[in-house]
Amino acid sequence: MVPLLRLLTPSLTTTTTPYTNYGNDSSTTKACLKHRNSLQQITSPLSATDDKKKQKALFVLGTTATGKSKLSIDLATHFQGEIINSDKIQVYKGLDILTNKVSEIERRGVPHHLLGFVEPGEEFTTQDFCNHVHRAMKHIIGNGNTPIIAGGSNRYIEALVEDPLLKFEDNYDTCFLWVDVALPILFDRAAKRVDEMLDAGLVNEVRCMFIPGIDHNSGIWRAIGIPELEPYFQAEMEMADEVTKKILLDTGIKEMKENTKKLIDKQLRKIKYLANEKGWKLHRIDATCVYERNGKVDDDVWDEKVLRPSLEMVTDFLWEDKRARVADSFLVTI
């Protein structure tokens, strides 16, 4: 029998909602015990899976700035996983700061698929996404690894799961983790992240790719930050005075933050639609407490309130078939 990871969190509970709640309450703001070294790596069971059985697919959902990428990488390092990007803007090449692509260091050696591989001006449809994911998943499972689909484009994920051509639901058992953060905390964190992007060189990055009059409804040009900063770059080209340029830049940054809030609201409505209207079973991980101090990740709280319950739930998901076979082996036929 393959040993399971025994975690220090309560057992999963069934609720009347389509998703399970984990995480934050009013008492969780105090410091958590350090335990990162106690987290164990688990070998994926997929390499030993019978081809006739459904394969496993893990999804990490959430709005912008909730920590989806961090959790997916954490899970990949524990469960021998590879990550498939499901952000419709991050599939494009370039603008790595603006689109908030995970850096090589942040990836920690975890293979990433569908990340920065489409030319900036090309269209990438939902069907393109489904086809590429299908090929990537066959490759990942062929390696004996766990496919982890993570990103904020929930319409793409919905199309993938319900694709009648690929028959995704017939071929895969799915597990959906939803990383959630209370909106007041999340809005503040998202605004600070824009400031961090600016400090990292966002304005110059966009300036280098700026094309006057470009269609903001196609390709990478849909990314928040390009249309908002266009008046500023246009003023630069027209040799406007410094006061005018500063006003336009400040206005563009303010609009970026406001439009990011609107995006978060839209993403959250879609996630709730998938849970409440479509009946998807989403396992909700409340990460609010992780960002309560200063909007940045508190690693100790993250490990205790986000990573540990996620590890417990994913362990149960990945190994449920093997546990069932072990249980059946103890049945006595009379």
pLDDT band at 30 (very low <50, low <70, confident <90, very high): very low
Q: What is the mean pLDDT of residues 137-145?
A: 97
Share of the chain above pLDDT 70, in %: 80
Q: What is the mean pLDDT of residues 96-112?
A: 97
pLDDT higher than 50, residue 10:
no
Q: What is the mean pLDDT of residues 90-98?
A: 98
Which pLDDT score is estimated for 33?
32
Which pLDDT score is estimated for 191?
97
pLDDT higher than 60, residue 46:
no
pLDDT band at 66 (very low <50, low <70, confident <90, very high): very high
- Rama region for 219: left / alpha / beta (φ>0; ψ in -120 to 50; rest): left
**Range picked from 131-140, 210-219, 317-326 for highest mean pLDDT:** 131-140
pLDDT higher than 80, residue 48:
no
Choose between 300 and 29: higher pLDDT.
300
pLDDT band at 208 (very low <50, low <70, confident <90, very high): very high
3-state SS record for 215-244: CCCCHHHHCCCHHHHHHHHHHHHCCCCHHH
pLDDT higher than 60, residue 108:
yes
Worst-scoring range by mean pLDDT, 38-47, 154-163, 220-229? 38-47
| Domains of the chain by start residue, with CATH | 19-182+271-328 (3.40.50.300), 188-259 (1.10.287.890)
pLDDT higher than 90, residue 272:
yes
| pTM as predicted | 0.83
Residue by residue, DSSP assigns 152-202 as: S-HHHHHHHHT-TTTTHHHHEEEEEEEEE--HHHHHHHHHHHHHHHHHTTH
- What is the per-residue pLDDT across 225-267, written as a single tens digit (0 to 9) for each? 999 999 999 999 999 999 999 999 999 999 999 999 999 999 9
Residue by residue, DSSP assigns 72-86 as: HHHHHHHTTEEEEE-
Q: What is the mean pLDDT of residues 161-171?
A: 92
CB-side neighbour CA atoms (13 Å) of 204: 3
Which pLDDT score is estimated for 294?
75
- What is the per-residue pLDDT across 273-283, written as a single tens digit (0 to 9) for each? 999 999 999 99
